[in-house]
Structures are given as C-alpha cells and as structure tokens.
Amino acid sequence: MTLTLELSELRSTNEAALEQLSRTTEEQFDVQLAEIENFLISIYRFAVLSVRREQEMARAAAVWRETLDVIDRAAKRVQSLAAKHSGVHPSLDRILEIRHAASEMLALYA
C-alpha cells in the first residue's frame, strides 16, 4: 500500500489552521497553537520518511526545501500572531525549533 500526500493539501490545511488561529480567543490561542505545532511535526516526519530511501540528493533536497517553506511560512505567521497575545507560548519556541531542524536537514542534502 502506498500513501501519497500532496504538498498542496498540506499547505491548504496549514493555511486553514493559521487562519483559524488568527481569529481565536485569548483563552484558546495556546491550544490552537499546540495543534499547529503538532501538524508541523507531522510534516517534518513525513519529510524524513519520504527521503529515507531516496537515492538522488537533488530530490531529497527538494523535499526538504518544500518542507522548510511550509514550516517557515507557518513560523513567521505564528510569530506575528503570538506578538498580539500576551503570555508565554511554549509551542512557539518548539515551532521555531522545528523550523531550525528542517533547515539543518536541507543543508545536509543541498
């Protein structure tokens, strides 16, 4: 059995979650932010699995480039939204760590 995920589907799901986060209440902000964090972790894991047996470095780099793009866009948007909500947001720090990890993976293959 082969599972195929289209990056466009992941992007649209991510955009919908970010849009919902932008409209959330102060009380629900961190809950929704944690959901976005979990989604980005999943995207990262999918990238790891997809390049695991990839023979061509260029194709592996392309996967990481696209993955980093999705995570980077989310991280920038989340940073902007978090600035509008008071308090400490632990998921924001972890999202930035995910972005850094994806960047390091791209550097390995590029």
Q: Where are the domains of the chain?
A: 29-109
Q: Cα–chain-centroid distance for residue 95?
A: 7
State the pTM of this model.
Answer: 0.89
d(CA 60, CA 53): 9
Q: Are 17 and 35 in contact (CB under 8 A)?
A: yes
Q: What is the largest CA-CA distance in the chain?
A: 47
- pLDDT one-digit tens code per residue, 73-104: 999 999 999 999 988 899 999 999 999 999 99
User: 95 φ, ψ to 5°?
Assistant: -65, -40
Per residue in 13-63, pLDDT (tens digit) is 888 998 999 999 988 999 999 999 999 999 999 999 999 988 999 999 999
pLDDT at 2: 53
Query: CB count, 10 Å around CB of 17?
Result: 19
Summarize the confidence of residues 67-76 as an average pLDDT: 95
pLDDT at position 87: 87
Predicted pLDDT at 108: 94
